[in-house]
């Protein structure tokens, strides 16, 4: 199969590319290297360094492959600090990139899978998050955190519209706090990698807010398995899948478990505005693809700890 992976130098995208190459697909990675790394990219993939918002970059990817059957769209500005510090850029990239890949998929009659997020539900407090859950966004003057979640929500709207009005074969996946090797650990990175790096180096582990907010962490290879099932199966246009594990842990408990792996102590910090208090996936819809995230947090943390 001829596959374009946008954001294929990033954390999830690079693991997806590895899996696609391993099963014999021809893959072009399009990434602007805003956050992804060249060294993440599988050497058997063709790499185009460029902006997904630029349609000519996407058509160059199609030319490299001599056509396209499937587009996995993961390019986005991810990382909580960016949502606050670069809200306009987050909105612009996340929405325009999705518009461009929808156009590309329609022009080439290709299947499109986009990476949305549980943040598309905003600060919804009723758990688990299901296809019936409403998105809840706080007033924009308070903080701009939802530049990300609201842009993902609008991406989902755009996909659903194109499915209905233009017969797009578009599918949506929502990874729930994926973690594993290559997860960024700098200050713009993601929580497990940041905490593990601090534990290893003996620096304090920061916990934001009261630490009682929970997350459902999902091992990267489980997420990739789910993405492949979503992209391979026929008849899933307009369907969305919560690719998450229903094992909830508070951020404080997580910090304590990770601190115990090294010699770090925990310090409490101010909360991030707009941080959701819980994030638990409803998994009913995943029966369609017979998928569950089987790797427990204990197993995943041990695997990741050994990698670092």
Binding site for ligand NAD (CB under 6 A): 6-7, 9-13, 30-36, 51-53, 74-78, 93, 97, 115, 117, 175, 177-178
C-beta separation of 108 from 70 below 8 A: no
C-beta separation of 20 from 231 below 8 A: no
Minimum CB–partner distance for residue 73 and ligand NAD (Å):
7
The continuous run of DSSP H or E covering 300 comes out as helix 297-307
Minimum CB–partner distance for residue 135 and ligand NAD (Å):
15
Instruction: Choose between 112 and 167: whose C-beta lies nearer to ligand NAD.
Output: 112
C-beta separation of 248 from 214 below 8 A: yes
Minimum CB–partner distance for residue 188 and ligand NAD (Å):
9
219 CB-contact burial (10 Å; exposed 0-12 / middle 13-18 / buried 19+) = buried
Minimum CB–partner distance for residue 223 and ligand NAD (Å):
8
- Range list of β-strands (E), the chain: 2-6, 26-31, 46-49, 70-73, 111-115, 170-175, 178-179, 205-208, 214-215, 218-219, 240-243, 249-250, 266-269
Instruction: Choose between 49 and 204: whose C-beta lies nearer to ligand NAD.
Output: 49
Minimum CB–partner distance for residue 129 and ligand NAD (Å):
12
Instruction: Choose between 90 and 259: whose C-beta lies nearer to ligand NAD.
Output: 90
DSSP 33: -
Instruction: Choose between 35 and 111: whose C-beta lies nearer to ligand NAD.
Output: 35
Instruction: Choose between 186 and 204: whose C-beta lies nearer to ligand NAD.
Output: 186
């Amino acid at each position: 199969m001829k596959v374009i992976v946008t954001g294929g130098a990033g954390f999830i995208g690079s693991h997806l590319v590895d899996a696609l190459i391993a099963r014999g697909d021809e893959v072009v990675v399009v990434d602007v290297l805003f956050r992804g790394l060249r060294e993440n990219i599988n050497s058997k993939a063709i790499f185009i360094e460029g902006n997904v918002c630029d349609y000519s970059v996407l058509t160059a990817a199609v030319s490299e492959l001599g056509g396209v059957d499937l587009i996995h769209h993961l390019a986005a500005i991810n990382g909580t600090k960016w949502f606050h510090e670069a809200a306009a850029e987050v909105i612009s990239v996340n929405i325009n990139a999705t518009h461009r890949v929808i156009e590309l998929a329609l022009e080439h009659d290709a299947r499109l899978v986009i990476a949305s997020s549980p943040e598309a539900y905003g600060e919804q407090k009723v758990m688990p998050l299901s296809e019936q859950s409403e998105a809840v966004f706080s007033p924009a003057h308070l903080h701009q955190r939802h530049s990300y979640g609201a842009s993902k929500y609008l991406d989902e709207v755009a996909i659903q519209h194109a499915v209905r009005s233009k017969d797009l074969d578009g599918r949506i996946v929502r990874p729930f706090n994926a973690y594993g090797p290559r997860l960024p650990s700098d200050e713009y990175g993601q929580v497990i990698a940041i905490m593990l790096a601090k534990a290893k180096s003996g620096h304090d582990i920061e916990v934001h807010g009261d630490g009682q907010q929970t997350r459902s962490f999902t091992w990267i290879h489980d997420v990739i398995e789910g993405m492949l099932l979503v992209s391979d199966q026929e008849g899933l246009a307009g369907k969305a899948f919560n690719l998450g594990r229903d094992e909830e842990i508070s951020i404080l408990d997580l910090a304590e478990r990770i601190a115990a792996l090294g010699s770090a102590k925990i310090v409490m910090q101010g909360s991030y505005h707009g941080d959701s208090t819980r994030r638990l996936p409803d998994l009913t819809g995943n029966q369609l693809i017979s998928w569950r995230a089987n790797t427990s947090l204990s197993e995943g943390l041990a695997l990741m700890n050994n990698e670092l």
